[in-house]
Amino acid sequence: MKKLLFMILAVVMVVALFAACTPEPVAPVEDVVEDVVDDVEEVVDEVVDEVVDEVVEEPSGYELAMITDIGDIDDKSFNQGTWEGIVEYAEANGVTHKYYKPTEKSTDAYVAAIDLAVAGGAMVIVTPGFLFEPAIFQAQDMYPEISFILLDGFPQDGTYTEFRIEANVYSIFYAEQQSGFMAGYAAVMDGYTKLGFMGGMAVPAVVRFGYGFAQGAEYAAAQMGIDAIELKYHYTGNFDATPENQTMAASWYGAGTEVIFAAGGKVGNSVMAAAEAADGKVIGVDVDQGSESDTVITSAKKELAISVQQGLAGYYAGEFKGGVSEVLDITVDAVGLPFATSRFNQFTQADYDAIYAALVADTDGIASAILGDADVAAAGELPLTIVSVTVFE
Amino acid sequence: MNSVYFLVQQTMFFSIPLLVVALGGMFSERGGVVNIALEGIMIMGAFASIFVISVLQDTMQGQLLLIIAILVAVAAGMIFSLFHAYASINMKANQVISGTALNMFAPAFATFVARTIQVTKSINFNNTFRIESVPLLGDIPVLGQLFFQNTYLTTFLGIAILIVSAFVLNKTKFGLRLRACGEHPQAADSVGINVYRMRYAGVLLSGALAGLGGLIFVIPTSTNFNATVSGYGFLALAVLIFGQWKPKRIIIAAFFFGFMKTLASAYTGIEFLSNLGISSYLYKMIPYIATLLVLALTSKKSQAPRASGIPYDKGLR
């Protein structure tokens, strides 16, 4: 053992000797070491200057930046959908791009990540999720020359007292209630009468999915003349695959629930695990999750990728929708079901096209009658007559 | 009656991983090394074995693959726990810090490797391991439905590990020596027991069981592994303390925790329970309140191994 150590030491010394003879790479290191001995602060300043120089000198940097919301870039859901849109656009147009993951879930960390992105040369920063609202509220003033695309949110001061959008921010909302509506409609039209909804945290987008789901089921039931639909309704309070979520889903399937709409990132995987064991069905969320499990009959999608690309295209065409906040709904194909990969029994393409067209045209006010998260306080208060909602805290 | 079957079957998914991991912690602590790295080891075990499953599942399925995964999980857990053993036994490092370091390292490592190899962090797997009904045994009325339907090979493995663990710890020479090293290593050393070797054995056993626990934890409850075991390693520590470092009490603690966790989630699907109107928060709180109570009432005569957490120093007498 000792011999080995000596050998290693000897090798290290020899290498060091040779290294000392070759001037270029080692000399600056030695300088730095001397500086450290002389004055630590000076070195720190130098290093900082160097880094800043590099950033300034490098004209390209990463022009498109995305800051991830809680969850990861490959969450098969919100972050991933957004990022795929950015990547696709960037690669098609030869733009540099990079994503940044905040160190924690806090406005400070989000602002720090934005700082980092700007220092990295970002011109456009995409931030998915309403949690970014206060961060963008601050950043829009800090970086007036940078453009921001905020998904699912409107800049506010963090206390919901002051709302303000500057000319460098484009805020996008989605009509998730329409997507959920179609999922609920399709499920009931396909013959399911005992439904479940398991959302993640009760954030506005998730709530809209849930409300839409209940109302879509109601609409289909009325159309088909069904007199009773059961809907179990729960927010898990997390976006993770846990045994708790799996157990709850399993207990619902055990109690007769036929299909569960899982609107909460990885919560869906727990529901799928339960569905596979209990022969139940699952409805996915955000992106087409049909490939993750054979139990997924369809997914309530929102076209994150497409809308991000449209926003970016607008920016590069000099028509950035700065200062605009808009809700992307079915009229611009921003929400829908992936019919081609869905596993329906009775619900046909014609049925889907009919309800889609009716929603787009707002026939008999069908689309505008769908209530969103701001319209009612809880799922139990939705004006439903056929669907009986049982909310579990 | 169906809901009773369901509750019991579901409780197994919670309790067996807790049981196995807590037994792992028991071996380590009875040998004198505090192992709070259980969470990290679970992640490593689950990561390695789920990865192997995802690679091999195209060529093989079912129980054979599960057995291979079990071996991989055990091996990965043991290798990972070697770090903890080396730091806390050879280097005499603070065992809490070493454990914390492993806990922080494991998810980062799993994420990094998964991304490097297959782009995404979550590793998908097909669950082909569920046993609808055990042949013959599953047909026994009541008992068959309770314990031998909708189950996994790992459930029985967990019970077997409990029995073997209890026997090894209390009835064998090895168990006696291990316990001696956890109570008074100097005394053990004075009669010729190699304390370092015994402690290594304890930590390696804990690594093997915690790694296995990670696999058992993930398989029934998800369709992919996402570099997390949701804090169940720490919960297993609570089970270990609640169980007072004794196998017989650990199984009671594991099933108590598991049953309460099941109730907290499953009451929504059981009419009788959801009609009671008890908030799920109450169910969720009960195991922890019980742990606090047990600790408060028994701390005076707590059964914690006396030398647990103290690096062995030959010079001390």
Q: How do residues A30-40 score in pLDDT, each as one tens digit?
A: 555 555 555 55
Number of domains forming the structure of chain A: 3
Average pLDDT over residues B29-38: 95
User: Which residues 156-185 of B have a C-beta within 8 angstroms of A?
Assistant: none
The region of weakest confidence among A151-155, A216-220, A329-333, B302-306 is: B302-306
Same domain, A221 and A190: yes
Average pLDDT over residues A352-380: 91
Kindly determine whether residue B268 and residue A234, on different chains, have CB atoms separated by under 8 Å: yes
Same domain, A185 and A152: no
Same domain, A82 and A151: yes
Same domain, A166 and A108: yes
Residue A387 lies in a domain: yes
Q: Cite the DSSP H helix spans in B119-194.
A: 143-147, 153-171, 173-183, 185-190
User: Which residues 54-83 of A have a C-beta within 8 angstroms of B?
Assistant: 72, 74, 76
Same domain, A197 and A289: yes
Domains of chain B: which residue ranges? 2-301
Tokens of A339: 């019919």
Cross-chain CB nearest to A250 (options B10, B230, B232): B10
Kindly determine whether residue B226 and residue A293, on different chains, have CB atoms separated by under 8 Å: no
Same domain, A88 and A33: no
DSSP for residue A366: T
Model confidence over B208-232: pLDDT tens digits?
A: 999 999 999 999 888 889 888 888 9
Same domain, A374 and A263: yes
| CA distance readout (Å), B255 to B11, B24, B217, B263 | 7, 16, 14, 12
Backbone phi and psi for residue A285, each to the nearest 5 degrees, phi listed first:
-145, 155
Q: Output the CATH code of domain B2-301.
A: 1.10.3470
- Given a cut of 50, whether residue A209 has pLDDT beyond it is yes
User: How high is the pLDDT of residue B274?
Assistant: 78
Kindly determine whether residue B270 and residue A241, on different chains, have CB atoms separated by under 8 Å: no
Q: How many interchain CB pairs under 8 A, A with B?
A: 110
Interface check B222 vs A, CB under 8 A: yes
Kindly determine whether residue B221 and residue A246, on different chains, have CB atoms separated by under 8 Å: yes
Cross-chain CB nearest to B121 (options A72, A242, A250): A72
Model confidence over B48-91: pLDDT tens digits?
A: 999 999 999 989 888 999 999 999 999 999 999 999 999 999 99
Residues of A in contact with B115 (CB under 8 A): 74
The residue range of the domain holding A209 is 177-301+336-392
**Measured distance CA(B139)–CA(B150) in Å, rounded:** 12
Instruction: Indicate which CATH number applies to the domain containing A166.
Output: 3.40.50.2300
Same domain, A168 and A46: no
Helix axes A304-316, A78-93, angle to 10 degrees: 40
Residue A194 lies in a domain: yes
Same domain, A103 and A134: yes
Same domain, A149 and A272: no
Same domain, A47 and A156: no
- Closest-CA residue of A relative to B151 is A277
Residue A199 near residue A227, CB atoms below 8 Å: no
| The model's pTM | 0.81
Residue A58 lies in a domain: no
Residue A15 lies in a domain: no
Residue A383 lies in a domain: yes
- Provide the ipTM: 0.84
Tokens of A47: 């290093």
Kindly determine whether residue A273 and residue B261, on different chains, have CB atoms separated by under 8 Å: no
Q: Which of A145, A174, A203 is the last residue of a domain?
A: A174
Same domain, A240 and A148: no
